[in-house]
Structure 1
Amino acid sequence: MRDEFNPFCLHQLFEDFDQWTEAFKTWNLTANQLSQGKFKGELAIAQFGCLQLIYASANQAMQIVGDKPPNTLTFGTLLTSQDQELIAHNQRLNQKVLFGLDPTRETYIINQKLCRVGIVVVSTNVFHQYTDLMKYKSFNDTFFHKNIVHIDPNKLSNFKTYLQQLFYLLQTNPTWLQQLQTQKLIVEDCLPLLIDTLRFDQDFFDSGIPKLGRYQMIKEVEDFMIANIDQPLTLKDLYTAVKTSPRTLSYGVHDLFGMSPMEYLKIKRLNGVRRTLKTCDPNQTTISGIATHWGFWSMGHFSRDYKQLFGELPSETLKKTWEGES
């Protein structure tokens, strides 16, 4: 079992959300852009020893799905100063929680525009070594399977301040973080602070965060969409496939994504077109052929919707692919 990350530091700005998700390295993520406009993102990662620290921001609403690094525990928190929200699986999150704790669940996040998060990833073995040293016995499977914990506001504020100081150093002085002595200090500071932040008073542990309650239905709808992505699906097709009512389906999709089921289907298809354009051979494919494969029949409406979502025409995406291969 591996207890250490390969050491490296990264700080980069992105205008392509696929490149942004690929830069997460030890994660296996896929992203779909949900809001209209050109993507701008930032990512800062420091990993060494048993610890990975991540700062991530995106200016667009995104759906992010994928695997967490194996043999690790993950702790995420919102860093925005506004009353920003995330949705993780079937729960709407706010500034007062740590999320992503369950190592058996995939990453499934929907964020609003202008979202900033901090993530700490720790080797499972090392985390429990520290909890044993600190004589905290409450961090068992039941604790982590909750996935989200509500934290004492003062403790969480202190932890966020500490993370933001580290992220500032990562962005402005990464060579300092690459020194072995610095890394040792950070591990020995960060893990006890994290564990003490998690140590809960019963009043704060059960947060009563509202559950959206329709997560499984949405997953089934998504699977049906992917299986029939090139077909002219209707709302009736969608709610019939998951054996629910149109009202329940519409409320469920709107709760998660802030849009109707048919709007969400269109956005999934547009994201699929974009990924195909970025990987195809420009000499052997046509935009209309790719669009048709993804279920678009009107090229005029398709081009308009594509530009509204991504801030560029399909031909511009294809041109970037061509220029990148030249």
Structure 2
Amino acid sequence: MGLDATLPTPGSAASLLQASSTDVDEHCATLGRWRLSYDQISAGAFAGHFTQLSLPRVEVFREVTSQQVRQYGQLGAGSFGIGLPWHAAGEVNCNGVSVAGAKVIACIDAEVDMCTPKAFELRGVVTSAGLIEELATRLDISVPRAVWHQLRVIEMAEAPVARLHQHLAVIHDTIAAAPELFDDPAAQRALEDALLVEIMDMLPTARPSDQGRSATVRKRTVDRARELMHGSGDRSLSLLEVCKAVGASPRKLGYCFHEVLGTSPMHYWRAMRLNRVRRDLKRSDGAKTSVYDVAVQHGFWHFSQFSLDYKRHFSELPSETLRRARLAA
């Protein structure tokens, strides 16, 4: 279990962060100023990698996660982000819409909430929403208002998406082979301009993917169920209570979850509670903490089954997580 990060060289013109982690929370902590939280949904050992090249006006990133993950939070107030799914073992789901073809994920001054599959890689660009607005004004480009203030799956013209894809491929190949090239201010400026040109060429063609009425209803049902699951405080709600509150049968709720998140409500709910237990155990700094007490607090009444589920999900026993937390305290 650990974190391996390469930080910027003092005095370098560009900042390069490269980090690897075997823990989803440690991986999340490497994301710099991004205020995101991750929950591991699928079971198994986690491996994450994050690379970020920070230039004066633009950040270029590459993220790899081995397990299915729910990502939520903010890239930062006033940020613009555009991401291209690179490799995945399944579909990326954002607001009930999957990403494929010439679709990208766009976030303009908005909250992030999406579910990514196993073996997922995302590459993209983050910059200031103010810079995008300024460029749009000066270049007489109309940016569709529908893409603001909500993480959206956006359909774009294929050509600029393909060119941005090529730029990102070359950038990350250069990071691997000769990162010192990015220390040249002229190279930085040329790279930023090339990326911004493609983004400004893409945005006028942007239109949110149409979910359709039934997809919108399914998304609303799942959002309400997740709100109840995450907002239940110290007392863990049962799945039956969630079904009653949203007015959906277990079968209907299951269909909605599979369509929107690619998993069942029971699996999602168990994964959320396991993540909460793990975080509580990792925060423990005293001998008074009991694995049993923490498990019960989050609704796990069958302790031996809980231990099996925990080990299957995180590839270690809860007692091992607690022991490591005590040693680190």
Show the 5 A alignment for 1:107-146. 107-136=112-141, 138-144=142-148
- In structure 2, the partner of 1:290 is 294
Q: Whole-Å Cα distance in 2 between the matches of residues 144 and 135 of structure 1?
A: 18
Please identify, of 41-50 and 138-147, the stretch whose mean Cα deviation from structure 2 is larger.
Answer: 138-147
* Aligned CA distance change for structure 1 residues 160 and 83 (closer, same or farther; 3 Å): farther
The Cα offsets for residues 105-159 of structure 1, whole Å up to 9 and x where unpaired, read as 31001011111111211212222333344332x2142354683321233332221
Letter in 1 for 2:305: H
Please identify, of 167-176 and 16-25, the stretch whose mean Cα deviation from structure 2 is larger.
Answer: 167-176
* Aligned CA distance change for structure 1 residues 85 and 229 (closer, same or farther; 3 Å): same
- In structure 2, the partner of 1:53 is 60
Letter in 2 for 1:186: L
Q: Is the 8 A contact 1:85 1:95 kept in 2?
A: no
Show the 5 A alignment for 1:80-159. 80=87, 84-103=90-109, 105-136=110-141, 138-144=142-148, 147-159=152-164
- In structure 1, the partner of 2:166 is 161
- In structure 2, the partner of 1:3 is none
Q: Is the 8 A contact 2:89 2:117 kept in 1?
A: no
Q: How many residues align?
A: 314
Runs of 5+ consecutive residues of structure 2 not aligned to the other structure: 1-12
* Aligned CA distance change for structure 1 residues 311 and 185 (closer, same or farther; 3 Å): same
* Aligned CA distance change for structure 1 residues 133 and 58 (closer, same or farther; 3 Å): same
Aligned partner of residue 100 in structure 1, secondary structure: strand
Q: Whole-Å Cα distance in 1 between the matches of residues 301 and 307 of structure 2?
A: 11
Q: Is the 8 A contact 2:97 2:260 kept in 1?
A: no
Are 1:9 and 2:16 an aligned pair? yes
Q: Identify which of 275, 281, 305 aligns with 2:279.
A: 275
Are 1:310 and 2:314 an aligned pair? yes
Q: Whole-Å Cα distance in 1 between the matches of residues 236 and 192 of structure 2?
A: 53
Letter in 1 for 2:18: H
The Cα offsets for residues 259-317 of structure 1, whole Å up to 9 and x where unpaired, read as 33222211111010111111111423111111111111122101100011111111222
Q: Whole-Å Cα distance in 2 between the matches of residues 83 and 207 of structure 1?
A: 22
Root-mean-square deviation over aligned CA pairs: 2.5
* Aligned CA distance change for structure 1 residues 23 and 247 (closer, same or farther; 3 Å): same
Give 1:38 deviation, angstroms.
Answer: 0.4
Give 1:170 deviation, angstroms.
Answer: 2.9
Q: Whole-Å Cα distance in 2 between the matches of residues 35 and 143 of structure 1?
A: 30
The Cα offsets for residues 55-111 of structure 1, whole Å up to 9 and x where unpaired, read as 11101011111112112211111112x6842111221222421212342x3100101
Give 1:237 deviation, angstroms.
Answer: 1.1
TM-score by length of 2: 0.86
Q: Whole-Å Cα distance in 2 between the matches of residues 235 and 133 of structure 1?
A: 52
Give 1:29 deviation, angstroms.
Answer: 0.9
Give 1:226 deviation, angstroms.
Answer: 3.2
The Cα offsets for residues 22-64 of structure 1, whole Å up to 9 and x where unpaired, read as 2111211111111111000110011232211111110101111
Q: Whole-Å Cα distance in 2 between the matches of residues 143 and 256 of structure 1?
A: 20
TM-score by length of 1: 0.87
* Aligned CA distance change for structure 1 residues 183 and 251 (closer, same or farther; 3 Å): same
Q: Is the 8 A contact 1:83 1:94 kept in 2?
A: no
Are 1:70 and 2:74 an aligned pair? no
Q: Whole-Å Cα distance in 1 between the matches of residues 147 and 224 of structure 2?
A: 28
- In structure 1, the partner of 2:3 is none
Q: Is the 8 A contact 2:147 2:208 kept in 1?
A: no
Q: Identify which of 246, 249, 255 aligns with 2:250.
A: 246
Q: Whole-Å Cα distance in 2 between the matches of residues 301 and 242 of structure 1?
A: 28
* Aligned CA distance change for structure 1 residues 227 and 121 (closer, same or farther; 3 Å): closer
Q: Whole-Å Cα distance in 2 between the matches of residues 289 and 145 of structure 1?
A: 41
Letter in 1 for 2:71: I
Q: Is the 8 A contact 2:96 2:259 kept in 1?
A: no
Aligned partner of residue 186 in structure 1, secondary structure: helix
Q: Identify which of 33, 37, 43 aligns with 1:26.
A: 33
